[in-house]
């Protein structure tokens, strides 16, 4: 009889150990399930399209601009990054030679309005993006300096519209 009770006690201890392991396993499964439930929506959400990546490049978009009233005969290229920074290179339209060292700045966009502000220069580009065209006003020390226009890509626009742009009608921009 003693052997039967001993075997029964071992059997019950074994059952309790299995139950404890199952409960721990269930708790672990509940935790994993909760993590999967929280992460699943992230897998199906589309990635956020930023302004800079609209041109199709993963890290930067290229815009090429002319500033006909302020700097005629020169072409400027803006390499814009998703982090809100850009670099600007300028060249002579006729010779292709650089006219300035590379300049850097920050850009921001709200709706169709786009602002570019150079880090070390008192220039601010304030304009409107419509499709692959960006037109507006270049400000120098807060005063209207020139109209400008830019096209998405490496090719500069041939000319800018001579009439005052939308940005010319707005109040002094703030960045």
Kindly state the average pLDDT of the residues 26-47: 55
* Residue 36 token pair: 């999967």
Q: What are the pLDDT digits (tens) for 117-154?
A: 999 999 999 999 999 999 999 999 999 999 999 999 99
Contact 152, 63 (CB under 8 A): yes
- Cβ density class 72-111: b for 16+ within 10 Å, e for less: eebbbbbbbbbeeebebbbbeeeeeeeeeeebebebeeee
Q: Domain for residue 175, yes or no?
A: no
Regarding whether 160 and 98 lie in a shared domain, the answer is yes
The pLDDT value recorded for residue 28 is 65
CATH code, 88:
2.40.128.20
Regarding whether 81 and 6 lie in a shared domain, the answer is no
Q: Domain for residue 91, yes or no?
A: yes
Q: What is the mean pLDDT of the chain?
A: 78
Q: Domain for residue 77, yes or no?
A: yes
| The total number of structural domains that make up the chain | 2
Q: Tell me the CA distances in angstroms from 82 to 52, 60, 107, 108, 174, one per residue in order.
A: 5, 6, 10, 10, 21
Least confident range of 8-12, 32-36, 79-83, 118-122: 32-36
Regarding whether 160 and 84 lie in a shared domain, the answer is yes
The pLDDT value recorded for residue 42 is 47
């Amino acid at each position: 009889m003693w052997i039967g009770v001993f075997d029964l006690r071992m059997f019950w201890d074994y059952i309790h150990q299995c139950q404890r392991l199952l409960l721990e396993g269930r708790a672990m499964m509940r935790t994993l399930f909760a993590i999967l439930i929280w992460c699943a929506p992230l897998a199906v959400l589309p990635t956020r399209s930023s302004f800079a990546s609209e041109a199709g490049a993963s890290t930067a978009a290229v815009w090429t601009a002319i500033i006909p009233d302020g700097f005629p005969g020169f072409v400027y290229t803006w390499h814009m990054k998703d982090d809100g920074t850009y670099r600007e290179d300028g060249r002579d339209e006729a010779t292709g030679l650089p006219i300035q060292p590379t300049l850097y700045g920050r850009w921001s966009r709200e709706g169709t309005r786009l602002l570019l502000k150079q880090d070390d220069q008192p220039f601010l580009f304030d304009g409107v993006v419509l499709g692959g065209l960006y037109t507006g006003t270049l400000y120098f020390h807060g005063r209207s300096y020139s109209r400008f226009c830019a096209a998405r890509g490496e090719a500069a626009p041939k000319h800018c519209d001579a009439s005052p742009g939308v940005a010319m009608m707005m109040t002094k921009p703030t960045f």
